[in-house]
Structure 1
């Protein structure tokens, strides 16, 4: 027995075995952690918001709050500031879309979860409507989203990391910046030239702001807020530019073929030279149902550039497990059976409104209308010397005339205001006459109408970053 014990006492510890000293040290660490735990609190502390949420700011909200002034109680309020086509009451959803939704609800085939990327039938319906010989893609290239804004969010988050930058249009839809900044993605503004017959991107300027961290260009056509529609030739110039610098394009085409006044819409991915493009679209603005929240991304993966990005978009789609199944169920009928007459009616309404407003405001000194050719907006340039800033102009217009418009500063276009063209023709004409009369009353006869922000670009956002 004694021999056995002495034998065991000579056994060395196994490699990696913990020693008594190490056990004592770990016990001390645990004791300190236990003693350092916060004591019970008698009061609740206010929990601060996260840095991500704090950096999520939509500039339109700030400008809209500045224009929250009381209208003239003696005049009917006319709201030309909301980009919601359902508000005016004259652009309802098509009967086909409404019937499709009724069927989707009543057949109970879409009450449950679907695939995160979207139901195959809905994705195939997008292929059937938009794929062509010049722009071929399959259902595997389509991911559904909760509206076009969500599609843009997924595209931005999938292509850029903190410290990278994405080129965004100024004037432009402020949501692009809102989607970038919480992730510390830099939104670099490029210039939109509204001075000519056709709205264009200043590609020469764009070339000066590209660097090694530039990941993508966001191209919005037709444009919000400009109402501009890029010509085929200019779109080809944009593609050639992207090809030269090997930059992918995020194409925001939510307004699509909602064009008029002689313009033609060309899907960017249908033209050459071919470059990798993520097209973001949806049913909000052409089918007049923004509240139904259904959009999509089409990944045009030329040269295999977007293979990994596509995996990222699929992963991001899992955050919400796909958009509303009921609307997905209705989508095939909505896309395939809505008659052309429905879209023609919409174009005619907006074109007539645009031309009425443009003709009336053409009489106003110190003012220049950027006559729109697409989307549902009109930009109007004003002389600062004649009327003050665009914010004060819109505030006073509400106070005196009860006409609501958004100042251009909401879209990085100081010296302009935006008019939404979706109200009935009588209200549009009445609003234009009130704006004209307001200007006649307030015009400074010693003004110089050239003292304005014709370039339509506010570089302060870039300089302050």
Structure 2
């Protein structure tokens, strides 16, 4: 028997993964001093959950799809780790006729899709390129795996288009993937086909695959057109991530997907097998919702779609018009998704040092909760969510104007 040194005291340590799984948004928000004005009702404009206020209603067709799935008694057991074929086929049809069920992996929400893509494409010591500002989950998922995140700039003056020169300047021999968020969280931008083609040209030049986060693909304003990355790619292989959360008003149902858009068989067989292997760690998302997916995705007349888009667009115009007249603020009109980014001319607010203090003081005085954009790696902006009832948004704009006029110094 091998001798071991017997421990005299307990020593239990967390893993590298646990220590390095840090959500920047939660870290920042949990550290904020958020004490609302007790005389004013809190107006939360921080969380990208369209169900919070209850003003956007779940479609009866979606509800019935789940009830039928439950009552069929067919979807209570384990399914394949990549998802039930009927559900994957429904996603393939929904996304594009150019893919099949074999090109689809179902996941636990779009965040689960992103986790699988990053884990499959990059090793510890490699890097992925992520937009700035951008959703913080990419950093959380990557750093836990020893993968570096390099931030490329978006240009606010060009409706948050990618600074392609800067993007190219940070590519190196260890770059494993480029993440493109379109429509954007947190910016609400929707890229033109010409801009997407320029992104693809750069990726093709350097032979780097793209992770396309397109979970907001259906929430674009009426004067905009969404173009998927894959629909415009001739040779760049793309992993497209999406899900049912926002369009169908069911973020808590946690069903997302990866669609493999292979070009030149670059993903065969290694990436396909890799995604299969990784999917086996969770054994697929909820089979009850998978069973309902063909009916959910097949109802293209769902009235809640127009409800979500119309309210978001109406509130976007309202907020942009109001904030454009507020001293010290620089709103940037979104084109889709659920969000608007607002610049702060911080030099005109003495005693307020940055966006974090701005949002803290706004909560303290006016009971409005916005996210400081340092959560998205961009200082001196804040993000608002555009899905509350319009009357709430009007009240928020009135309070925001009062706040800025109180603190603004020319």
The answer, yes or no, to whether TM exceeds 0.5 is yes
- Indicate if the aligned counterparts of 2:92 and 2:103 stay in contact, CA closer than 8 A: no
User: 1:301 maps to what in 2?
Assistant: 262
Match of 2:196 among 214, 235, 243: 235
User: 1:131 maps to what in 2?
Assistant: 96
| Deviation sequence 1:205-247 (CA, Å, 0-9, x none) | 1111111111110000000001111111101111111111111
- Indicate if the aligned counterparts of 1:257 and 1:264 stay in contact, CA closer than 8 A: no
* Structure-1 separation of matches of 2:205 and 2:197: 12
1:204-223 counterparts in 2 under 5 A? 204-223=165-184
Runs of 5+ unmatched residues, structure 2: none
- Indicate if the aligned counterparts of 1:240 and 1:273 stay in contact, CA closer than 8 A: no
* Structure-1 separation of matches of 2:385 and 2:333: 13
Deviation at 1:51, TM superposition (A): 1.3
1:106-117 counterparts in 2 under 5 A? 106-117=71-82
What secondary structure, in the 3-state scheme, does the structure 2 residue paired with 1:191 have?
Answer: strand
User: 1:254 maps to what in 2?
Assistant: 215
What secondary structure, in the 3-state scheme, does the structure 2 residue paired with 1:334 have?
Answer: helix
Deviation at 1:341, TM superposition (A): 3.1
Q: CA RMSD in A?
A: 1.3
Match of 2:251 among 275, 290, 312: 290
What secondary structure, in the 3-state scheme, does the structure 2 residue paired with 1:302 have?
Answer: coil
Deviation at 1:338, TM superposition (A): 4.5
Match of 2:275 among 298, 313, 337: 313
Instruction: Find runs of 4+ consecutive structure 1 residues off by over 3 angstroms.
Output: none
- Indicate if the aligned counterparts of 2:61 and 2:302 stay in contact, CA closer than 8 A: no
User: 2:130 maps to what in 1?
Assistant: 168
User: 1:144 maps to what in 2?
Assistant: 106
Match of 2:330 among 326, 348, 368: 368
Deviation at 1:67, TM superposition (A): 2.5
Query: TM-score scaled by structure 2?
Result: 0.96
Establish whether residue 422 from structure 1 lines up as the match of residue 379 from structure 2: no
* Structure-2 separation of matches of 1:295 and 1:272: 22
* Structure-1 separation of matches of 2:161 and 2:234: 18
Establish whether residue 404 from structure 1 lines up as the match of residue 369 from structure 2: yes
| Deviation sequence 1:286-343 (CA, Å, 0-9, x none) | 1111100000000111111112111100100000110000000010000002425321
What secondary structure, in the 3-state scheme, does the structure 1 residue paired with 2:264 have?
Answer: helix
| Deviation sequence 1:320-367 (CA, Å, 0-9, x none) | 110000000010000002425321121100001111111111111221
* Structure-2 separation of matches of 1:439 and 1:66: 23
- Indicate if the aligned counterparts of 1:243 and 1:273 stay in contact, CA closer than 8 A: no
| Deviation sequence 1:155-182 (CA, Å, 0-9, x none) | 0000111111110010000000111011
Deviation at 1:386, TM superposition (A): 1.7
Match of 2:65 among 86, 97, 100: 100
User: 1:274 maps to what in 2?
Assistant: 235
Match of 2:397 among 427, 432, 435: 432
| Deviation sequence 1:54-107 (CA, Å, 0-9, x none) | 100010012112324210010011000011111121122221111111111222
Which is higher, the Rg of structure 1 or of structure 2? 1
User: 2:360 maps to what in 1?
Assistant: 395
* Structure-1 separation of matches of 2:376 and 2:318: 24
Aligned residues: 406
Runs of 5+ unmatched residues, structure 1: 1-29, 446-465
1:52-131 counterparts in 2 under 5 A? 52-131=17-96
Query: TM-score scaled by structure 1?
Result: 0.85
Q: 1:340 to 1:95 in 2, by over 3 A?
A: closer
User: 2:6 maps to what in 1?
Assistant: 38
| Deviation sequence 1:2-24 (CA, Å, 0-9, x none) | xxxxxxxxxxxxxxxxxxxxxxx
